[in-house]
Amino acid sequence: MNGNTYDVVIIGGGVIGSSIARALSKYECRTVLLEKEEDVCSGTSKANSAIVHAGYDAKTGSLKAKLNVKGNAMMGDLSKELDFDFKRNSSLVLCFAQEDLPALQALYERGVANGVPDISILTGDEVRKMEPNVSGGCGVLYAPTGGIVCPFGLTIALAENACDNGVEFVFNTKAEKVEKTTEGYRVITNNGVFETKYVVNAAGVYSDEIHNMVSEKKLHIVPRRGEYCLLDKEAGNHVSATVFQLPGKYGKGILVSPTIHGNLLVGPTAVDQEDKDGTYTTAEGLAEACEKAAKSVNNIPFRQVITSFSGLRAHEDGDDFIIGEAEDAPGFFDAAGIESPGLSCAPAIGEYLAGMIEEKAGFGKNPNFNPIRKGIVKAARLNTEERAELIRKNPAYGAIVCRCETISEGEIVDAITRTLGARSMDGIKRRVRQGMGRCQAGFCTPRAMEILSRETGIPITEICKNRKGSEMIKGEEA
């Protein structure tokens, strides 16, 4: 093989592409993942509800249903292997009107049929004893296996472990054209040509465009924008479970949930649009999210909102995941239309699609595969003695850079120097939460930029928020 010839090329470095990469690293094959941005977790995977759904919502028999329940079941062991934050905090679905109780019962029965364990229907009074701030309702679906996760932590952990096990990652590399060849496929990018036997299409909202380059059986993805409000950690205990409303036409509706890091999250709205990069927020959308959330949970302290954001979901016209080999393009495998509950399904999708490719290719097991990855040491979580010992060994862990999140210089250096280390301010933020607190990076940005420049050799004037063109400083170095 020459330098740009591979067994598998994965297009897309979100949670799905990274999960597939990690699953493929269990086999003896040369795999490369191409990502158009400067880092993994830069699209849909970085802006979502961060929920590990129990699996009662998807239509029985669909890929969404099968892979949701399996992915949920895998998440606990995976979080231990890969050292990322995950918690089963349970989920509640509120029904507000007597006439809607049959729909709640149908949701319960669907959950049972899908194999969701331990679900039940509770009364409003029973739920209020569990969650005093929940408005109640005339019936509530309770799913104790529902959970919350850090989508950055999950994606980065999968990618790092895949890389440590031999998968190559190439950033700032956009797949502009995919062509069939006698041996497989040629992926033409802004950063060279990659020859491969197999292609995995995990391009999120762009997965229809990649698919349609090689197949006559066209896909159509609609970007569905959802807006969120994130509240300060002082509001993080307002509810302990994830609180949903009975699902409607556009999905699971507005939720109120604690985050894995102790904040409170409200959203998302659902607006279909044509713009595949339009992750803006609107006053109307954020007001809608807050208004509808207040129906589920009383006295939400909206004055403690510290930021708002939006993300895009890749909604496919058939309303189910498209996973597998394209009928008229042998060797081309789709992971397309991965909208909610895609984050919950990610570990299962990775195993499912990698298994399909291995069955066709016959790669064989990678005898050196190591499933264990250790995350960045979180100094603030250590007890007094452990932290003192850590600082004694490396004083950088005693130099606090981000006061809101208590993030030290040592943690930022680790984020930069480890496998697939950060090369942008957003890359640091996603790995250690520098800048995610109450002041939203108002205090710590200059020092973090200096550390990034020092550790990488990138001139301070070329340090970017994310992609090239988002430089933090304009002008020349003194």
Residues with active-site annotation = 53
Task: Please tell me the distance from the alpha carbon of residue 252 to that of residue 268, in angstroms, as a whole number.
Answer: 9
Are 95 and 103 within 8 A, CB to CB? yes
- Which residues, 6 or more positions from 5, have their beta carbon under 8 angstroms from its beta carbon? 30, 194, 195, 196
In which element (H, E) is residue 361 found?
Answer: helix 342-361
For residue 197 the two structure tokens come to 């036997």
Are 217 and 26 within 8 A, CB to CB? no
Are 261 and 151 within 8 A, CB to CB? no
- Name which of 376, 397, 399 is nearest 388 in CA terms: 397
Q: Residue 277 burial by CB count (10 A; 0-12/13-18/19+): exposed, middle or buried?
A: exposed
Hey, is 319 helix, strand or coil?
Answer: coil
Are 425 and 431 within 8 A, CB to CB? no
For the chain, the C-alpha Rg in angstroms (whole number) is: 22
Task: Please tell me the distance from the alpha carbon of residue 213 to that of residue 228, in angstroms, as a whole number.
Answer: 34
Task: Please tell me the distance from the alpha carbon of residue 63 to that of residue 76, in angstroms, as a whole number.
Answer: 21
Are 292 and 253 within 8 A, CB to CB? yes
